[in-house]
Amino acid sequence: MKTILATTATALVLSAGVFSPAVANEAAIKARQSLMQLYAFNLGQLGAMAKGTMEYDSGAAQAAADNLLAAASMNQMAMWPEGSDNVAMAGKTAALPEIWTTFPKITESSQALVAAAESMASVAGNDLDSLRGAMGEIGKSCGGCHKSFRASND
C-alpha cells in the first residue's frame, strides 16, 4: 500500500511538472521564438542580397524565400496559448497581452506576412531587382506586428 501511494505521489508530481500550464507555456514560447528565428535567418539572407553584402544567387534566394513562406504558413495556434504573455510570464517572453485581448486581430498581421512571403517566393529567384522590390512588404509585415504585439526592448 505504501509503495502504491508513493508511486501515485511520484506520478502526480511528475505530471504536475510536465503538464503544468507554466511549463507548457514555456515550451510554446520557445517554439514561437524559434519560428521567429527562422523568419529572421531566411529574411537575413534575402536582405543581405538586397543590400549587396551577399552576392545575389538565384537558387539561394529562392530557397530562403521558400523557407520563409513555409515557416510563415505553419499553423501557430498552439504556439500562442492564452496566459503566455509578458505580464503572466515576465522575463520569458516579449509577447504583449494585446495578442489575446484584441484577438483575432493578430491573425491579420500573420496573413500580411504570408501574402508578402508569397510575393517574395514568386520572384526571388528571377533577379536581384525583383527580390529588392519584394523586400518592403515583408519588412512592413514583420515590423507592423512587432509594433502592435511585441514589447520593445528599449
Q: Which residues bind ligand HEC (CB under 6 A)?
A: 29, 32-33, 36-37, 39-40, 43, 93-95, 106, 109-110, 113, 138, 141-142, 145-146, 149-150
Which C-beta is closer to ligand HEC: that of 132 or that of 146? 146
Q: How far is the CB of 113 from ligand HEC (least distance, A)?
A: 4
* Residues 149, 104: Cα–Cα separation, whole Å: 12
Which C-beta is closer to ligand HEC: that of 16 or that of 78? 78
* Residues 19, 69: Cα–Cα separation, whole Å: 32
Which C-beta is closer to ligand HEC: that of 59 or that of 104? 104
Q: How far is the CB of 50 from ligand HEC (least distance, A)?
A: 13
Q: How far is the CB of 103 from ligand HEC (least distance, A)?
A: 11
Residues 99/80, Cβ–Cβ less than 8 Å: yes
Which C-beta is closer to ligand HEC: that of 95 or that of 131? 95
* Residues 4, 26: Cα–Cα separation, whole Å: 32
Candidates 74, 72, 36, 49; CA nearest to 124 is 49
Q: How far apart are the first and last CA of the chain?
A: 58
* Residues 100, 86: Cα–Cα separation, whole Å: 12
